[in-house]
Amino acid sequence: MHRFQPRLACAATLLICASASAQELLAVDATNDRIMLLSAVDGSVLNASFINLASGGGTPPGLPIQAISNGAGEIWVSDQTADVIFRWSADGSTYLGQFGTTRDNIRGIHVDFGRLWVCNAGTAGGSFGNAVKEYDLAFNLIAGHPYSGSPFGIASLNGELIVTDITNDRLVRVNPTTGLELGVLHDSDGVSGVDFPGQLNKTQAGNLVTVGLVAPVGIFEYSPAGVELNYFAAPTSGGPTTPQGVHELLNGNFVVGAGNGLWLYNRAAGTWSTIVASIDANYISPRNGFVAPPSAYCTAGTSTNGCVPALSAAANPSASGASACVLSVAALEGQKQGLVFYGLDNTGFSPLPWSATSTSFFCVKSPTQRTLPQSSGGTNGACDGAFNVDWNAFLLAFPTALGAPFAPGDKLFAQAWYRDPPAPKTTNLSNGLELTFVP
């Protein structure tokens, strides 16, 4: 088994875009050097040999860790011992080459903020040692950002990168603009909390999940503030051993990659079952450029009449305008004036109280841009009002709006503001919503 070789180290509504690609996951089988295709709904195997890594040219595969879609028609596969990233076509049929310079002992990889991010731990070939390496999407090195521990998994959260640290058993916040560490999101004692955290992924509720490779073995779920919400323990027998990959399914259960197979955890029943036995399964990631869906964050205020407005979107905005994106606010007070506003970068920002006695929080870092004012409609005194912003129509009308023109990977942080005369500051705010631009 590969796991222990010396080199082993790196109230709001959320709606998910139901594209075909969002219904599939890429799962790495390091035993057979293949990428399996799974259902993102229930974890069942759709294609056991979606990509045969050994059939590609170039460096033979050694220990594949993670397969991701790059958002532009390719699948990239990191290999920890081959020290390369293999490139395959989005349909898994064609080997496109490899990227293999200035890296050593690489683990998790991630595409966001218009960049490729690589967890690196080795020093061979000028590869910086423990570092989060930043490349443009043509594989040109931007920087090797030193990392205080040994990085393994990486994900995005609220405009920041979150990186697992297996040396210190923690989740660390990294600024994607500077590459500098912003602080610790969660610091585990490695005894009752996670020890040797592996892959990071976001849940449908906007939380983070990882797995502990050594005791306590299981799935750990954290709030966006880093508070441990759940620990789903693996049994001492009849469950995963040395787990390293995890992904929440659309039915709310989890698929876990481990040294003894690919496993399914049923959240409601609290039971583990085998999907594929006797393989060294690593990371599990969405297929075909599927980025994290719009994610609610921050707490909505409660209005004078007890309304708690919820800002949501059914899909991320398209940088080219190829697909629709509507920002919708439900459960607003009826017959109130207001608007939706947005910002571009929440890095290092913590929500601020709207006033000392308000239940609302200001959730978007300046500078901000307002969309057009509108009326919530509905019934005065009831919670049946609504706002809607057609994002493509807004940009068409205001082509020089803050952030325009947008590119794939750019972020949007939105929030609704509305008048509520009896409330503190005579106004209130909805939750925040994080969106990521797709092509």
Burial status of residue 141 (CB atoms within 10 A of its CB: 0-12, 13-18, 19 or more): middle
Note whether 303 and 173 are same-domain residues: no
pLDDT at residue 288, as a whole number: 64
Same-domain check for residues 282 and 314:
no
Q: In total, how many domains does the chain have?
A: 2
- CB hemisphere CA count around 347 (13 angstroms): 18
Q: Which tens digits make up the pLDDT trace of 235-266?
A: 999 999 999 999 999 899 999 999 999 999 99
Position 10 scores a pLDDT of 35
Tell me whether residue 13 is in a domain: no
- Residue 397 DSSP code: H
Matching residue, tokens 């000028």: 126
Instruction: Specify if 15 maps to a domain.
Output: no
Give the pLDDT confidence score for residue 17 in this predicted structure: 32
- Is-contact 119 105, C-beta < 8 A? no
Residue at which a domain ends, from 255, 286, 317: 286
Sheet holding 115-120, edge to edge: 106-112, 115-120, 131-135, 141-146
Question: Per the structure block, which two tokens stand in for 341?
Answer: 């506003």
My answer on whether 110 and 239 are in the same domain is: yes
The Cβ of residue 55 has, within 10 Å, a number of other Cβ atoms equal to 11
Buried b (16+ CB within 10 A) or exposed e, 303-329: beeebbbbbbbebbbbbeeeeebebbb
Q: Among 259, 286, 313, identify where a domain stops.
A: 286
> Is residue 7 in some structural domain?
no
Looking only at the bridges linking them, the beta strands covering 261-266 and 254-258 are antiparallel
Residue that the structure tokens 């969660």 belong to? 186
pLDDT the model gives residue 21: 42
Whether residue 144 is found in the same domain as residue 231? yes
- Which residue in 415, 407, 414, 413 sits closest to 437, CA to CA? 407
- Considering only CA atoms, give the Rg of the chain: 22
Task: Please name the amino acid found at residue 139.
Answer: F
- Please, where are the H alpha helices in 92-143? none
The answer to whether 108 touches 121, Cβ cutoff 8 Å, is no
Residue 384 lies in domain: 295-436
User: What's the pTM value of the predicted model, to 2 decimals?
Assistant: 0.68
| CA distance readout (Å), 12 to 297, 311, 402 | 8, 7, 25
Do the domain assignments include residue 70? yes
| Closest by CA position to 288, among listed 43, 89, 47 | 89
Q: Are 268 and 364 part of one and the same domain? A: no
Establish if 422 belongs to a structural domain. yes
Q: How much is the pLDDT for 292?
A: 66
Q: Quick one: 108 and 257 in the same domain? A: yes
Helix or strand or coil: residue 130? coil
The CA dihedral of 131, 137, 142, 143, to the nearest 10 degrees, is 0
- One domain for residues 218 and 130: yes
Are 303 and 379 in the same domain?
yes
- Residue 147: its pLDDT value, please? 96
Which distant-in-sequence residues (6+ apart) come within 8 Å of 58 by Cβ?
A: 84, 86, 95, 97, 98, 100
Q: What is the pLDDT of residue 204?
A: 87
Whether 12 is in a domain gets the answer no
Residues 183 and 305 reside in one and the same domain: no
- Evaluate whether residue 132 is within a structural domain: yes
Which CATH number characterizes residue 253's domain?
2.130.10.10
Distances (CA, A) of 429 to 109, 146, 241, 331, 387: 36, 39, 46, 12, 12
- Name the phi and psi angles at 53, rounded to 5: -65, -30
d(CA 153, CA 209): 11
Both 103 and 136 in one domain: the answer is: yes
Dihedral sign (CA 214, 47, 20, 273)? negative
Q: Are 37 and 287 in contact (CB under 8 A)?
A: yes
pLDDT-flagged residues of the chain (< 70):
1-22, 288-292
Residues 361, 344 share a domain: yes
Tell me, yes or no, whether 304 and 276 share the same domain: no
Q: What is the rounded CA–CA span in Å between residue 292 and residue 414?
A: 16
Report the C-alpha dihedral over residues 75, 156, 123, 54, rounded to 10 degrees: -20
Token readout for 207 is 């939380």
C-alpha distance from residue 289 to each of 5, 293, 307, 320 (Å): 32, 12, 37, 15
Q: Is residue 159 part of a domain?
A: yes
**Do 119 and 129 meet the contact criterion of CB atoms below 8 Å apart?**
no
